[in-house]
Amino acid sequence: MSYHFNEIEAKWQKYWAENQTFKAANPGEEGAEKPKYYVLDMFPYPSGAGLHVGHPLGYIASDIYARYKRHKGFNVMHPQGYDSFGLPAEQYAIQTGQHPAVTTAENIKTYRRQLDKIGFSFDWSREVRTSDPSYYKWTQWIFIQLFNSWYNKDTDKAEDISSLIAIFEKEGNINVNAEADDDVEQFSAEQWNAFSDEKQQKILLQYRLTFLSETEVNWCPALGTVLANDEIVNGVSERGGHPVERKKMKQWSMRISAYAQRLLDGLDKLDWPQPLKDSQTNWIGRSEGAMVSFAVIDGGNLPKINVFTTRPDTIFGVSFMTLAPEHELVSKITTEAQKEEVEAYVKATAKRSELDRMADVKTISGAFTGAYAEHPFTKEPIPIWIGDYVLAGYGTGAVMSVPCGDQRDYNFAKHFNIPIPNIFEGVDISKEAFTDKENTVITNSDFLNGLSYKKAMKTVIYEMEKRGFGYKKVNYRMRDAVFSRQRYWGEPFPVYYVDGLPQMIDEKYLPIKLPEVEKYLPTEDGKPPLGNAEVWAWCTETNQVVSNDKINNTTVFPLELNTMPGWAGSSQYFNRYMDPNNANEIFSQEAINYWQDVDLYIGGSEHATGHLLYSRFWQKFMFDKGLVPQDEFAKKLINQGMILGTSAFVYRVEWFYTRSVWGENNPEKVKKLPRKSELPDIYVSKSIFENIGRFYANYQNSDNSFLRQIDKKISELEKEYKIFESEGIGTISRSNNLAISPIHVDVSLVNSSDELDVKAFKKARIEYKNSKLLLEDGKYIVGREVEKMSKSKYNVVNPDAICEQYGADSLRLYEMFLGPLEQSKPWNTAGITGVHGFLKKLWKLYHTGKDGAFLVSENEPAAESFKTLHKTIKKVEEDIENFSFNTSVSTFMIAVNELTSQKCTSRAVLEPLIILISPYAPHIAEELWSKLGYNESISSAPFPKFEEKYLVESTKTYPISFNGKMRFTMELSLDLSKDEIEAAVMAHEKTKAQLAGRTPKKVIIVPGKIVNIVG
RNA sequence: GCUCGAGUGGUGGAAUUGGUAGACACGCUGGACUUAAAAUCCAGUGGACAGUAAUGUCCGUAUGGGUUCAAGUCCCAUCUCGAGUACCA
């Protein structure tokens, strides 16, 4: 009986689904007494294109691990669901008018069908979809929790807003140490109590962990929405590559900056890839320094200019100050004389997009405001400039410029002829700034003279704090995260507005469901798409969403028109999986205390600064609120590499026609210039292309035989299609220049030897139908190149087709066999025959009976078979623990090759062997397991135990090296002492031949390893 | 520019603490079976040189140095590729 993988795989997939084989037990259910293990894949967005073979790589790895852990006796949770809100569905809706919910549901169906075919051990009873109201109810709920919280720096955690109000009522905000907006005014208890309700609400907004504020945002006009920093790559939108500009808008933000230090510290205890941790560290961007205030001379009651600097030790080197053009003081301090210049400059920089600004970092620009600040120590006047090299978004948007110690300040000073005082001893600053901190001795700096960087830092901060114009400060690059999107297909906010102030809808009325709209575009007056909704107002009497025409601003109020960003739904989904159908709570405490956190998280590295940072932030918030027991949600994380496509190219010959007539005033009679599309194309095989190159001039006179052939083919076509026989004036001739263009061709038309299936090729597209092919050795050889897998490159390989042709087990094995999980690697379908052949051999190993009948014997296996089995157990177990799945596939191959040649049929070997293989190739394993006489699924069979005794050897084949080079091997007993080994080796005739009479200087013997003879 | 990662046959890759470089597979070559093809099975396959052959010699893990009895592995310098980041004061 041969290996019918299609039947076997369908049978077991059905069995698993019907028996809920992979349903994880929650507390109180049977199975929950086992230790828990939580394996999670990163939330997929169900795109319309479906899966290609690159997508399941991580899922296969996590599935192997999950199945392995079940064999090891764990209660394994391996859930899957969909991050189903998102831009592509909405863009598609805008184009076609189809409701995103409809297309999303279709896409999910496709995804599910594809995933099912690969035989994953997902617990589908836990599936969640972020766009499902029963799910986003809890996303809205978390938003409300954040709104009702503030960050207390004294306790270093988030607390309920009521505790803040209590402090305000008792002592105002003088002693409050909170993470809040920079511009909070100070007030006493009396003042607070006297404030209007509106004023109190506005003040509280400055403290809440999610808050509404006028902020500078990244506005993407093409997408009609704002974007978070992590959604912008190289100055353009991550999705679609559209330009982004800066704009001030009233937006919801998340006070993630409150957690900056904890997000940084938490990285230490995470078993995550170092590059990922590095990029989070980078993103958070902690720097230590000082905050220093500079008073504006004759500024009246203008606020002081605060600057953040990491080099307060260089304060005596300040020769000017620079403000970002957007800085709020710019308009207030600019003198009448400088007004025109400054305004022009501010206008010009506002127009420049992020991309422009980044593209020319070299151009130095700025303007003098005419105002001066007072140096806090020397009391000297310092000119205040503005310049776009100072970013509004970092620090305070202003810098004290020390041209001798900072290259940017130096360049600016040089450009505008500002003096560059030198405060470094014995350093030449005529060419560039001196930025070295370690070898610095300060001079020309009053009380800092003669001090090193470290000492000067301490001294100057002490002095500044004493005199009251500066203090030590830690600054973070990370900004608060913008949380509003001007999109339709996202979570609606549970928010309505009373007199322009946001009000939360009570939890018990959630979810606030996404309203229907006629158009998914922004409204004509520029409101977000929800502005098109007709039923989108909140009635505080009935607590329902009601028609907009009922808005009276006394009982019925307008609802928020923005929606939440993509990361909202994915920032707590891992916890929701623990209790996904709970309608009363986001999850029960019982469930979260059992499951705790994710033990293994697998996904792509592209989420480093988005999803993974936001999720950690929400987790810490949930931890502060006592809702989760762990303040990090995933102990171990692995980034799987990308699978690249191996594109195939055919080489199309391009030729051209010219016409001899010019200046003709009767265009109708002019002969029509033939177009190449009138003729079939000519394609040349790879080596012909390599011989000729991309361009060839004067080819008709060349004696290159390939060019002669091409010339002949073209002539034949011209005759056949009567190219020169059309009527008209003038002569048409063929140009003597030739070009050859590599064109992507579908990889499915190419075999493992890079030969094009010519018949299939001609059928594949109409334009190929009559094409002429110039072959080499009777074959058409295509070119190959490794590129990203994408539809436009015709190199996409669909897993369905692979499952159809080779089976899911082959696909799973092959994806693992390609190479280390973390590495990027090219896909080449040809290689799959190797693992497919292995599965056939494996099947055969259990079917050695008459006519291929199933056969296992109860005989005691040979010692060497036990040895094969146990070294396989050892290696595979180590490999899985180290996530080295590629090497275990090789190990299986070696084991099956050995057992086959040993003619092993013993149950005592074949039974444990199939358990070892089952995490990798579960379908064939289940089938063989049932043939071995079991009625239960193999999935919970205990993993075989490794026993050292089967591997004990009595001899070792020693490599005998001379001066480190292996010359021959010798089998020696492992019982021998060093001296005995040396005697045996020296007595060997080959040793004598190698030495040729010389006496060795030294003989190195490492028993059980190697012998090296030096001399 | 900065930070991190990686360079091993024709290809994907293996070599766990320095100890037989190229496991396992693809591809290729030759053979068996077949009218033929596919499938399957067997043998060979890093390069160069010598020999009818068994075999032997030399070279070989991006490049150049170094440490060591011994280096793909450790150290220094250089080159190339990839990823992230980008006026962060």
Domains by residue range for chain A, with CATH: 286-475 (3.90.740.10), 494-561 (no CATH), 644-787 (no CATH), 806-948 (1.10.730.10), 955-1014 (3.10.20.590)
> pLDDT tier at A357 (50, 70, 90 boundaries)?
low
Q: Residues 6 or more apart from A636 whose CB is under 8 A from it?
A: A270, A271, A272, A599, A600, A601
Check pLDDT > 80 for residue A728.
no
Check pLDDT > 60 for residue A760.
yes
pLDDT by residue (tens digit) across A840-884? 999 999 998 888 889 999 999 999 999 999 999 999 999 999 999
CA of A275 to C1' of B77 (A): 25
Q: A112-121, A750-759, A861-870: which range is least confident on average?
A: A750-759
What is the reported pLDDT for A669?
72
DSSP letter assigned to residue A368: E
The nucleotide minimizing the C1' distance to residue A754's CA is: B27
The nucleotide minimizing the C1' distance to residue A408's CA is: B87
Report the alpha-carbon distance of residue A443 to residue A317 in Å, rounded.
10
Partners of residue A733 on adjacent β-strands: A658
What is the reported pLDDT for A664?
59
Q: Return contacts of A814-818, CB within 8 angstroms, 24+ apart.
A: A815/A53, A815/A56, A815/A57, A815/A60, A815/A643, A816/A60, A816/A61, A816/A64, A816/A885, A816/A886, A816/A888, A816/A889, A816/A920, A817/A886, A817/A889, A817/A890, A818/A643, A818/A886
> pLDDT tier at A703 (50, 70, 90 boundaries)?
confident
Check pLDDT > 90 for residue A976.
no
Annotated binding residue at A791? yes
What is the reported pLDDT for A983?
87
> pLDDT tier at A663 (50, 70, 90 boundaries)?
low
* Of A215 and A9, more confident: A9
Q: What is the complex's ipTM, to 2 decimals?
A: 0.93
Report the alpha-carbon distance of residue A966 to residue A795 in Å, rounded.
45
Check pLDDT > 60 for residue A354.
no
Question: Do A120 and A133 meet the contact criterion of CB atoms below 8 Å apart?
Answer: no
CA of A1009 to C1' of B56 (A): 26
What is the reported pLDDT for A353?
58
What is the reported pLDDT for A361?
63
The nucleotide minimizing the C1' distance to residue A361's CA is: B87
* Mean pLDDT calculated for residue range A682-697: 85
> pLDDT tier at A161 (50, 70, 90 boundaries)?
very high
> pLDDT tier at A775 (50, 70, 90 boundaries)?
confident
CA of A816 to C1' of B26 (A): 15
Report the alpha-carbon distance of residue A397 to residue A300 in Å, rounded.
21
The alpha carbon of residue A763 and the mean position of all alpha carbons in its chain are separated, in whole angstroms, by 39
Check pLDDT > 80 for residue A138.
yes
Check pLDDT > 80 for residue A116.
yes
Report the alpha-carbon distance of residue A601 to residue A607 in Å, rounded.
12
Q: A423-432, A573-582, A631-640: which range is least confident on average?
A: A423-432
What is the reported pLDDT for A428?
84
Question: Do A253 and A482 meet the contact criterion of CB atoms below 8 Å apart?
Answer: yes
pLDDT by residue (tens digit) across A514-560? 999 998 988 887 788 999 999 999 999 999 999 999 999 999 999 99
pLDDT by residue (tens digit) across A19-70? 999 999 999 999 999 999 999 999 999 988 888 998 999 999 999 999 999 9
* Of A190 and A973, more confident: A190
Question: Do A383 and A342 meet the contact criterion of CB atoms below 8 Å apart?
Answer: no
Residue with tokens 């005014």: A185
Report the alpha-carbon distance of residue A48 to residue A39 in Å, rounded.
26
State whether the beta carbon of A282 lies below 7 angstroms from any atom of strand B.
Answer: yes
CA neighbor of A506 nearest in space, from A538, A482, A546: A538
* Of A771 and A913, more confident: A913
Residue closest to sugar C1' of B82 by CA? A824
Check pLDDT > 80 for residue A304.
yes
Check pLDDT > 80 for residue A231.
no
Chain B: nucleotides below 7 Å from protein CB are: 3-5, 11-16, 19-21, 23-28, 40-41, 56-58, 69-71, 82-89
CA neighbor of A492 nearest in space, from A441, A433, A552, A535: A535
Q: Judging by beta carbons within 10 Å of its beta carbon (0-12, 13-18, 19+), is residue A468 exposed, middle or buried?
A: exposed
The nucleotide minimizing the C1' distance to residue A609's CA is: B84
CA neighbor of A607 nearest in space, from A230, A79, A227: A230
> pLDDT tier at A356 (50, 70, 90 boundaries)?
low
What is the reported pLDDT for A594?
97
Mean pLDDT for chain A overall: 90
The nucleotide minimizing the C1' distance to residue A820's CA is: B13
CA of A542 to C1' of B9 (A): 77
Check pLDDT > 90 for residue A328.
no
Report the alpha-carbon distance of residue A35 to residue A43 in Å, rounded.
25
Check pLDDT > 70 for residue A359.
no
pLDDT by residue (tens digit) across A71-112? 999 999 999 999 999 888 988 898 888 999 999 999 999 999
State whether the beta carbon of A840 lies below 7 angstroms from any atom of strand B.
Answer: yes
Q: What are phi and psi of A212, to 5 degrees?
A: -100, 125
Check pLDDT > 60 for residue A635.
yes
What is the reported pLDDT for A977?
84
Question: Do A389 and A408 meet the contact criterion of CB atoms below 8 Å apart?
Answer: yes
> pLDDT tier at A194 (50, 70, 90 boundaries)?
very high
Rg (CA), chain A: 36
